[in-house]
Chains A and B, each alone.
Chain A
Amino acid sequence: MNRKLTTLALAAAMAAGPAMADLTFPSLSYRTGPFAAGGIPFADGYADYFTMLNERDGGIGGVKANVIECETGYNTEKGVECYEATKGEGALVYQPLSTGITYQLIPKTTADDIPMHTMGYGRTSAKNGNVFSHTFNYPANYWDGASGAINYLLEINGDDISGKKVALVYHNSAYGKEPIRTLEELQKKHGFELILLPVDSPGQEQKSQWLQIRRDRPDYVLMWGWGVMNQVAIQEAANIRFPMENFIGIWWSGAEHDVMPAGSAANGYKALTFHNVGRDFPVFDDIQTHVVDKGLAAGAGDQIGNVLYNRGLYAAMLAAEAARQAQEMNDTADITSGMMRDAMEQLEMTEERMTELGMPNFGPSFKVTCENHGGNGMVGVTQWDAESQTWSLISDFKPTDAEVIGALIEEDSSAYASENNIEPQCN
């Protein structure tokens, strides 16, 4: 009886799904709500890269890429609706750009055999591919970010930050809480003092946190913020005259729209990154000729070259590369999400390949394996110049504390595995 019911349900689901013709890349974007300022450039970059491939090369391996956009508003319920609405269309890979939605989709995508790529966000321990078979977070994750920030502080302080005070201003959600454990471990290792300052979502109200910073006078402030929280924090830091060069944001707190509202007061603000900034790459010429000049740019078309636009572009490039590799591996142009997953697990990005794609030194080179879904975790630092209104890379991509992070990942992923009875998939 059960079997019959399931078959019936399955048949109904299959009848509802249309035939696969294109390579479908759903984009769970958010162009509305308090986080839209970050969601728009990312979604534009993601869509524009696939448009460029379609216009310039006729798609990937001769098959057009089809980006279906679905508005989530950074809301998990709408995220579920979007996932269910798009998964029947032959979706190859999901990139929800929201830690909350990621947590929900990890078990769902695993059950539906669709890979999910959470680049620089989501559940950090998904790096352990042994447990998280369908979730990928290359090239870097939050714990790499936390360690990268501390490494940078070590570097500018001559390898000694014992006794220094480091404050973490974070979005009081799953996203903002992610780095705390790593920072606590690193605190023990390097002997600095960690002050935790949660900011409730969406983060317009931060007076008390910055009052505390003014009172405690930490040497450095790290920030895990997103959306409107970033702008408010940078403005508040300017108001209490906190030296901007000692204020370091995670990569989600370091885009143009975050620093612009504070004007010249934001000069010198730093942010971590795992990919390069600016539009000084050959790929932007192709985007100009094949996308912008033809009037095909996504959104308002005013975001090109922004930090988060580049990140969307980078995410799209990695997805397109994996799709191309899946086509080569299976010798077919019409790939399935299962083939896509296998290809993502063997993805290798080299400097030569990125140069070929018109993106030299755009991101670190890395290789994904079955055990390591997270790449090498190379983290760089960028700094904002308010006068020329540009971000520039001041510290190149450097490795993070793999020892501390590896142990934490092992601990968290094995807890998840035992909670959900997951057998290790690699052998």
Chain B
Amino acid sequence: MFYREAGDFKVSYVEDSQTFPIKFDRYRYYAVLAVAFGIVPFVINDYWANAILLPFLIYAIAAIGLNILTGYCGQVSLGTGGFMAVGAYAVYKLMTAFPEVSMFIHVLLAGGITAAVGVVFGLPSLRIKGFYLAVATLAAQFFLVWLFNRVPWFYNYSASGQINAPERDTFGIIITGPNAPAWATYLFCLVFLTFCAVVARNLTRGTVGRSWMAIRDMDIAAEIIGVNPLRAKLTAFAVSSFFVGISGALFFAIYLGAVEVGEVFGIQKSFLVLFMVIIGGLGSIFGSFAGAAFLVLLPVVLKVVGADMLGWPTDIVAHLQLVIVGGLIITFLVMEPHGLAQLWRVAKEKLRLWPFPY
């Protein structure tokens, strides 16, 4: 009834090949964009921005990035935290060196620098696969964190090795530092997320994405039908690292404002983003959003319910949180190994036939 192709006629090739060919999907997409851009900025406050929406938007970008590499191209990576650190330190060096340049440009440049670093660390993927590649990217993770801890140039020789985001603006609106209004930081991240999601969606529908998926599904067969593994793998590393770098730059400059590499971009961050991708659904843009929302919101919801509403001791709530999140992850993986995206896909199949299933 709600969700069906019947009666939705396409009269041109452009219409036929659009991103969301089904009307319901398309309108839902427009509605989400309208709410996110048109309503949320007017009602947002500091708590919603800093505790919930900013982490969600930023992790969603990171999850899209990792999903391209792991979900679409099949290259397991444990280096996400390290690549986010590259983005963060790149934007820090850029924003302190060129204070008058717009933050939009700095964040994009930071993504570009991370893409270059990602390609370098992606080179081993041409020779090694699977678990062995995971170990190689793990080396990237540890090396990058060590590098940013070790070389004082990266943190401008500050006494404690911390980097702090100074106040910077874009189009005259402050978007970093403590005086940035909540709506501005939110919109800034939202613009990047929308940009990344649209680019990722279109890349994965085109030649590049198809060559990634061919490599993922069977690399030897892909090579035989003419997919160049060097190009496919390295573009996947580059695009993925570009997104992850943007998320790292936003994570530092907009969300946290002060970062210490070992604590914020450690191995836990790599695992967290990997869990988001796995829970959300490998090889799905929607899954990246769902996974990020799940792992960002769940701890906050549990904390609000447990500590603020029920008044339980904070340590019990914190421990319960680990138990519940862990339990849910296992339940999800057992019941639905393809993640939240697959749940959504199943729901859509059901909706198509509703109310007359056969």
Among A32, A110, A175, chain B packs the most CB atoms within 10 A around the CB of A32
Q: How far apart sit A201 and B265, CA to CA, in the bound complex (Å)?
A: 13
Is residue A29 within 8 Å, beta carbon to beta carbon, of the partner chain?
A: yes
Closest Cβ neighbor of B145 among chain A residues: A200
Query: CA separation between A9 and B43, bound complex, in Å?
Result: 6
Cα–Cα distance between A20 and B110 once the two chains are bound (Å): 44
Chain A 14-38 near chain B by CB (<8 Å), digits 1 or 0? 0010000000000001011000100
Q: Which of A31, A77, A81 contacts B315 (CB 8 A)?
A: A31
Chain A residues lying within 8 Å of B258, measured Cβ to Cβ, are 76, 100, 103-104, 106-107
CB distance from A196 to the nearest CB of B (A): 12
Q: Are B159 and A181 in contact (CB under 8 A)?
A: yes
Q: Which of the segments B67-75, B123-131, B162-170, B332-340 contacts the partner chain? A: B162-170
Report how far A85 CA is from B301 CA in the complex, Å.
12
Among B167, B178, B308, chain A packs the most CB atoms within 10 A around the CB of: B178
Complex CA–CA separation, A111 to B179 (angstroms): 6
Q: A residues within 8 A CB of B55?
A: 77
Q: Are A420 and B166 in contact (CB under 8 A)?
A: yes
Q: Which of B96, B162, B259 contacts A419 (CB 8 A)?
A: B96
Q: Is the CB of A31 within 8 A of B314?
A: yes
A104: chain B residues at CB < 8 Å are: 256-258
Given A9-B183, A419-B164, also A174-B260 (CB < 8 A) = yes
Interface size on A, as a range, is 35 or more
Residue from B167, B179, B183, B318 within 8 A of A73 (CB atoms): B318
Contacts of B166 in A (CB 8 A): 419-420
- In angstroms, Cα B164 to Cα A360, docked, is 40
Give Cα A299–Cα B316 distance, bound, in whole angstroms: 11
Answer whether A81 and B318 are a contact pair too, CB < 8 Å, given A71-B307, A104-B256, A419-B96: no
| A69 near B178: Cβ-Cβ < 8 Å | no
Contact among B47, B264, B313 for A88, CB-based, below 8 A = B47
Taking A103-B260, A173-B262, A174-B161 as contacts, is the C-beta distance between A12 and B45 under 8 angstroms?
Answer: yes
Cα(A2)–Cα(B47), bound, Å: 20
Closest to B96 in A: A419
Annotate B8-49 by CB proximity to A: 1 below 8 A, 0 otherwise: 000000000000000000000000000000000111111100
- Shortest CB-to-CB span from B260 to chain A, Å, is 5
Give which listed residue, B43, B50, B160, contacts A103 with CB less than 8 A.
B160
Q: Mark A286-316, 1 if CB is under 8 A from B, else 0.
A: 0000000000000100000000000000000
Report how far A218 CA is from B35 CA in the complex, Å. 64
Cα distance A361–B146 in the bound complex, in angstroms: 44
B50 and A76 form a contact (CB under 8 A): no
Contacts of B303 in A (CB 8 A): 71, 81
Does B324 sit within 8 A of A, measured CB to CB? no
Please give, as numbers and ranges, the residues of chain A lying within 8 Å of B308 by CB-CB distance. 85
Task: Enumerate chain A residues within 8 angstroms of B159, measured Cβ to Cβ.
Answer: 124-125, 177-178, 180-181, 408, 412
- Interface pair B162/A103, CB less than 8 Å apart: yes
Task: Decide: B315 and A71 in contact? CB cutoff 8 A.
Answer: yes
* Residue count of chain B within 8 Å CB distance of chain A: 47
A-B contact pairs, 5 of them (CB 8 A): A5-B183, A16-B47, A85-B47, A107-B178, A107-B257
Chain B residues with CB below 8 A from A172, complex form? 149, 262
**B317 to chain A: which residues have CB within 8 Å?**
71
Contacting residues, chain A, for B42 (C-beta < 8 A): 5, 8-9
Quick check: B256 and A13 within 8 Å, CB to CB? no
Which 6 pairs across A and B sit closest by C-beta, in order of nearness?
A: A31-B315, A111-B178, A174-B160, A71-B314, A107-B178, A13-B45
Q: Are A108 and B178 in contact (CB under 8 A)?
A: yes
Interface residue ranges of A79-101 to B (CB < 8 Å) = 80-81, 84-85, 87-88, 99-100
Is A6 interfacial (CB-CB < 8 Å)?
yes
Interface string of A255-295 (1 = CB under 8 A from B): 00000000000000000000000000000000000000000
- Evaluate contact between B182 and A9: CB separation under 8 angstroms: yes
For residue B183, which residues in chain A have a CB less than 8 angstroms away from its CB? 5-6, 9
* B264-A76 in contact (CB<8A): yes
* Docked complex: B136-190 residues within 8 A CB-CB of A: 149, 158-162, 164, 166-167, 173, 177-179, 181-183
How far in angstroms is the closest Cβ of chain A from B166? Answer: 5
In the bound complex, residues from chain A placing their C-beta under 8 Å from that of B318 are: 31-32, 71, 73
Interchain CB contact (< 8 A) of B319 among A32, A77, A108: A32
Give Cα A77 to B265, complex, Å: 11
Contacts of A201 in B (CB 8 A): 262-263, 266
B300 within 8 A of A: yes
| A123 proximal to B (CB < 8 A) | yes
Q: In chain A, what residue has the closest Cβ to B186?
A: A9
| Cβ–Cβ < 8 Å partners of A178 in chain B | 159-160
Additional A-B contact list (12), CB under 8 Å, known A2-B181, A107-B178? A13-B46, A69-B307, A71-B315, A77-B55, A81-B51, A81-B300, A100-B260, A103-B260, A104-B257, A172-B149, A173-B263, A419-B166
Measured between alpha carbons, how far is A172 from B44 in the docked complex, in Å? 37
Q: How far is the CB of A181 from chain B (nearest CB, A)?
A: 5
- In the complex, what distance in Å separates the CA atom of A240 from the CA atom of B314? 39
Contact of A12 with B264 in the complex, beta carbons under 8 Å: no
* A70 sits at the interface (CB 8 A): yes
**Is A421's beta carbon under 8 Å from chain B?**
yes
CA distance A299 to B177 in the complex (A): 36
Measured CB to CB, the closest approach of chain B to A184, in angstroms, equals: 11
In the bound assembly, the distance between CA atoms of A123 and B264 in angstroms comes to 18
Cβ contacts under 8 Å, B181 to chain A: 2, 5-6, 9
Q: Roughly how many angstroms separate A180 CA and B313 CA in the complex, as a whole number?
A: 38
Give min CB distance, B79 to chain A, whole Å. Answer: 18
- Kindly name the residue among A29, A70, A174 whose own CB sees the greatest number of chain B CB atoms within 10 A: A174
What are the residues of chain B within 8 A of A71 when measuring CB–CB?
A: 303, 307, 314-315, 317-318
B177 and chain A: residue at smallest CB distance? A107
- Considering only residues 141-173 of chain A, those with a C-beta below 8 Å from chain B are 172-173
Residues of chain A within 8 A of B46, CB atoms compared: 13, 84, 87
- A-side contacts of B167, CB under 8 Å: 420-421
Smallest CB gap from B263: residue in A = A100
A85 to chain B, nearest CB (A): 6
Q: Are B256 and A200 in contact (CB under 8 A)?
A: no
Interface flags for B84-111 (1: CB within 8 Å of A; 0: not) read: 0000000000001000000000000000
Q: How far is the CB of B88 from chain A (nearest CB, A)?
A: 13
Among A16, A70, A100, point to the contact of B45 (Cβ < 8 A).
Answer: A16
Cα–Cα, bound, A16→B317 (Å)? 24
**Interface members, chain A 214-242 (any B CB < 8 Å):** none
